Chain A
Amino acid sequence: MNDHADEHLVLACRQGDKAAYAVLVKKHYKRVFALCLGILANVHDAEDVAQETMLRGLQNIGRLARADRFEPWILRIARNLCLDFLRRQKRAKMLPAEPETVAEAGTHENHDLERALRRLSQELRLPLTMYYFEHKDAGSIARQLHISPSLAYERLKAARQQLHALLTEGGSHD
Chain B
Amino acid sequence: MTNDCERMREEIAGFVAGMGQGLGSEELRRHLDSCADCRDYLRALQQEDTSLADHFAAIDAEMAGRQERMLQALKRVDTSNQADRIFIWRGIIMSRLSKAAIAAAIVLAAALGVAYLGGHFDGTSVAWAGVAQKLDQVRDFVYRQRQINSSGVRTPGFEFKQEWETWCYYSSEFGSRWDQYSEGRLIGQYYTLVKGQQFVGLSIVSKTFRRQPEPVTQTTSLDPMCELRPILAGPYVKLGRTTIDGIVVEGIEVQGQKVMNGPLLDDAVSRLWVDIRTELPVWMESEGKVRGSDTYARLIRDQFRCNIGLTEADFTPVIPADFKQEDRPAENRPKQPDTVLAAQKPVDVDFGPLQELGLLSDDQTPLQPIQAVTGIEEILAARDKVMGAWPRYADLRDSLRQELDEKLNLKSCPVDKLVQLGVLLREKYWDVGGDFSSTSYRYGYMARVLLELAHAQEPNDLTIGDELAEAIMSIETLKGEDFWPALRELRAAQFRQACAEVESGRQPVWEDFARGCDLTILFYYEQPEEAVPVADWLISHAQAGGWAGYMDLLERIRSRLTTKGGLWYNIYTPPGSAYPEEFRYGNRLPSFRGPAKRAVVPSYPLQPQPAQPQDQ
List residues of A whose CB falls within 8 A of some B CB. Answer: 13-16, 18, 21-22, 25-26, 29-30, 33, 37, 43-45, 47-48, 50-51, 54-56, 58-63, 65, 77, 80, 84-85, 87-95, 101-102, 105, 107-110, 113-114, 117, 128-129, 131-133, 137-138, 153, 156-161, 163-164, 167-168, 173
Query: Is B260 an interface residue, CB under 8 A from the partner?
Result: no
The residues of B that contact A85 with a CB separation of less than 8 Å are 566, 568
Q: How far is A163 from B51 in the complex, measured between Cα atoms in Å?
A: 12
Please give me the residue from chain B that is nearest to A16 by CB atom. Answer: B88
CA distance A160 to B50 in the complex (A): 12
Please give, as numbers and ranges, the residues of chain B lying within 8 Å of A47 by CB-CB distance: 66, 69
Interface residue? B185 (CB, 8 A): yes
Inter-chain contacts of A133 with B (CB < 8 A)? 56, 59-60
A92-B74 in contact (CB<8A): no
Q: Which residue of B lies closest to A153 (CB)?
A: B19
Cβ–Cβ contact A108 & B70, under 8 A: no
- Residues of chain A within 8 A of B348, CB atoms compared: none
Shortest Cβ distance from residue B188 to the other chain A in the assembled complex, whole angstroms: 13
Query: Which residues on the B side are within 8 Å of A18 (C-beta)?
Result: 78, 84
| B227 CB → nearest A CB, Å | 26
Task: Find chain B residues with CB under 8 A from A84 CB.
Answer: 183
Interface-lining segment among B8-16, B315-323, B496-504, B530-538: B8-16
Q: Which of B13, B59, B78, B183 contacts A37 (CB 8 A)?
A: B59
The main secondary structure of chain A at its interface with chain B is helix
Q: Give the residues in chain A near B376, CB-CB below 8 Å.
A: 91
* A102 and B564 in contact, given A16-B88, A63-B90, A94-B524 (Cβ under 8 angstroms): yes
Chain B residues engaging chain A, CB cutoff 8 angstroms: 9-10, 13-14, 16-20, 41, 44-45, 48, 51-56, 58-60, 62-63, 66-67, 69-71, 73-74, 77-78, 83-84, 86-91, 93-94, 102, 106, 183-186, 376-377, 380, 477-479, 521, 524-526, 563-568, 570, 572-573, 586-587
Whether A107 contacts B62 by the Cβ 8 Å rule is yes
- Closest chain-B Cβ to A139's Cβ sits at a distance in Å of 9
Inter-subunit contact A25/B566 (CB<8 Å): no
Minimal Cβ-Cβ distance residue in A for B478 = A93
Q: Are A33 and B63 touching (Cβ within 8 A)?
A: yes
Given contact pairs A55-B73, A59-B186, A87 touches B44 in the complex (Cβ within 8 A): no
> What is the count of residue pairs linking A and B with beta-carbon distances less than 8 angstroms?
184
Asked if A94 meets B106 with Cβ closer than 8 Å, knowing A54-B70, A54-B74, A129-B56, the reply is no
B567 and A163: CB pair below 8 A?
no
Contacts of A61 in B (CB 8 A): 87
Top 8 A-B residue pairs of the complex, sorted by shortest distance between their CB atoms: A62-B90, A14-B91, A156-B17, A62-B87, A133-B56, A93-B478, A132-B56, A93-B587
Q: In the complex, what residue of chain A is closest to B185 when comparing beta carbons? A: A56
Contact B521 A94 (CB under 8 A): yes
- Set of chain A residues within 8 Å of B91, measured between Cβ atoms: 14-15, 62
A30 to B67, CA, bound (A): 8
Q: Tell me if B83 and A58 are in contact (CB < 8 A).
A: yes
Q: Report Cα–Cα, A21/B70, bound state, in Å.
A: 12
Specify which of B184, B479, B587 is in contact with A77 (CB 8 Å cutoff): B184
Chain B residues within an 8 Å CB radius of A94: 478, 521, 524-525, 567
Specify which chain A residues have a CB less than 8 angstroms from the CB of B184 in the assembled complex: 56, 60, 77, 80
On whether the beta carbons of A48 and B568 are closer than 8 Å, the reply is yes
Q: List 18 A-B contacts (CB under 8 A).
A: A25-B67, A43-B59, A48-B566, A51-B73, A54-B74, A58-B74, A58-B77, A59-B87, A63-B90, A77-B184, A89-B566, A91-B377, A92-B587, A93-B380, A93-B586, A101-B525, A117-B55, A157-B20
Report how far A160 CA is from B41 CA in the complex, Å: 11
Please tell me if the beta carbons of A164 and B44 are within 8 angstroms of each other in the complex.
Answer: yes
Do B564 and A65 touch across chains, with their CB atoms under 8 A apart?
no
Does the CB pair B565–A44 fall under 8 Å? yes
A113–B78 CB distance below 8 A: no
* Least CB distance, A171 to chain B, in whole angstroms: 13
Q: If A48-B566, A62-B90, A102-B564 touch, does A90 touch B70 (CB 8 Å cutoff)?
A: no
User: With A15-B88, A93-B477, A164-B45 known to touch, is A25 a contact of B70 (CB < 8 Å)?
Assistant: yes
Judging by beta carbons under 8 Å apart, are B565 and A48 in contact? yes
A158 to B45, CA, bound (A): 12
- Of the residues B14, B48, B60, B62, contact of A164 by C-beta under 8 Å: B48
